[in-house]
Amino acid sequence: MGNVATKLSEYDAIAKTVQYYIDGAKSGRGADMKAAFHKDATIFGYYEGELFAGPIQGLFDFVDQDGPQAGIQARIACTDITDTIATVRLEVDNWGGHRFTDLFTLLKVDGEWKIMNKVFHQHQHVGATPETSEVLAKGARK
C-alpha cells in the first residue's frame, strides 16, 4: 500500500481527485473531470483496436462526444503513494457497455494531487467478469 507513514488523508485526497474523473464520465462533460488532471497530462491506450494517445484534451473531447454514462461503475482497486508521487488502478465497468482498467500516475502539485498520465486497457468482452464484479461490489458496500 505504499509508505506505511503515509497519512490516510493522502489516500482520501487521491480518491477525491479520481472521483472528478468518474463524475465527468458519468455526466458526459469533459469539463467536469478537468480538475483531476494536470494541464500537461497525457493519455495512452487502445480504444476499439486503435491507439488513443496524446494530450489529455483528447479524453475531454471524447467524453463530450460520448455523452452521459450514468451506469458506469468504478472502483479504485489499488493506490500506492510515495511522498509526492502516486499510482492508482481504477476498474471501470459499463462505460458504453465496455470494461476498462485505468492506470493513473499522480503528482502532488502545489499541495494538490493531479493525474499526470492515464494509461488504459479496454477489455474485449462486454460486462463484468467475476473478478471485477467482486471489486465493484466491495465499493458499493462502502
pLDDT in tens, 59-102: 999 999 999 999 999 999 999 999 999 999 999 999 999 999 99
CB 93 within 8 A of CB 73: yes
- Minimal CA–CA distance to 23: which of 8, 13, 11, 33? 33
pLDDT confidence of residue 142: 39
pTM summary value:
0.84
The edge-to-edge listing of strands for the beta sheet with 112-122 is 50-55, 37-47, 112-122, 98-109, 85-95, 73-82
- What is the C-alpha end-to-end distance of the chain, expressed in Å? 19
Q: How many helices (H) and strands (E) does the chain have?
A: 4, 6
> Which value, in Å, is the radius of gyration of the alpha carbons in the chain?
15
pLDDT confidence of residue 5: 56
pLDDT confidence of residue 125: 67
pLDDT confidence of residue 75: 98
pLDDT in tens, 5-20: 578 999 999 999 999 9
pLDDT in tens, 104-139: 999 999 999 999 999 999 998 644 445 544 544 454
Domains located in the chain, CATH noted:
8-140 (3.10.450.50)
Strand partners for 46? 51, 121
Strand partners for 109? 112
pLDDT confidence of residue 84: 97
pLDDT confidence of residue 123: 96
